[in-house]
A = this chain, B = another copy of it.
Amino acid sequence: MDELAQSDPSPAAETRWALARAATLCEQRGTRLTDLRKRVLEIIWSSPVPLGAYAILDVLRDDGRQGAPPTVYRALDFLLEQGLIHRLATLNVFTGCRRPDSFHGGQFLICRDCGQVDELNNPTVEALLRAEAASRRFDALSQMIEVLGRCPECRREAESHAR
């Protein structure tokens, strides 16, 4: 199980996996993945790049659903609490989490050019940071790592244009 989290499935399959996983997790936890929350999660997973709250709101309105900013932000807060999405603070956007089973700090490679993100999972880095915090008697509650740069595609693109 969870094979889809490891391989490289189609976006649609990935979205289906994420929604199913979310439903199971919320069931287990006794939290309610309502239609609205599920739809917001789906919108996030369906996008090739992370979306901002207002972009999500636009999609909801295209759905014909009524809504205002709080509608989206409340759904996002729920999804964040459940560890189903991450917020990329440097860009004010939200992206689906590929390992929602275990709460963890976000580790991201973010392409400055196309906006695509890649979620890392480096336990060594997480442990080192926890140790640093502990050595200073700091009670670490969450970690956020955002590496900005250029993804392989945009890199190639830029290099070909440079000639």
User: A residues bordering B, Cβ < 8 Å?
Assistant: 89-90, 105, 107, 109, 111-112, 118, 120, 122, 124-125, 128-129, 132-133, 136-152, 155
Q: What are 29 A-B interface contacts by the 8 Å CB criterion?
A: A90-B144, A107-B129, A109-B133, A109-B136, A109-B138, A111-B138, A120-B129, A125-B125, A125-B129, A125-B132, A129-B147, A133-B147, A133-B149, A136-B152, A138-B150, A138-B151, A138-B152, A138-B155, A139-B151, A139-B155, A140-B148, A140-B149, A141-B148, A141-B149, A141-B150, A143-B146, A143-B148, A144-B146, A145-B145
Query: A137 and B152: CB pair below 8 A?
Result: yes
A156–B32 Cα gap in the complex (Å)?
A: 35
A76 to B84, alpha carbons, bound, how many Å?
A: 34
Contacts of A133 in B (CB 8 A): 109, 147, 149
Number of copies: 2
Give CA–CA (A152, B140) in the complex, Å. 11
A89's partner among B90, B132, B155 (CB-CB below 8 A) is B90
How far does the alpha carbon of A105 sit from the alpha carbon of B146 in the complex, in Å? 10
Expressed in whole angstroms, the minimum distance between the Cβ of A45 and any Cβ of chain B is 21
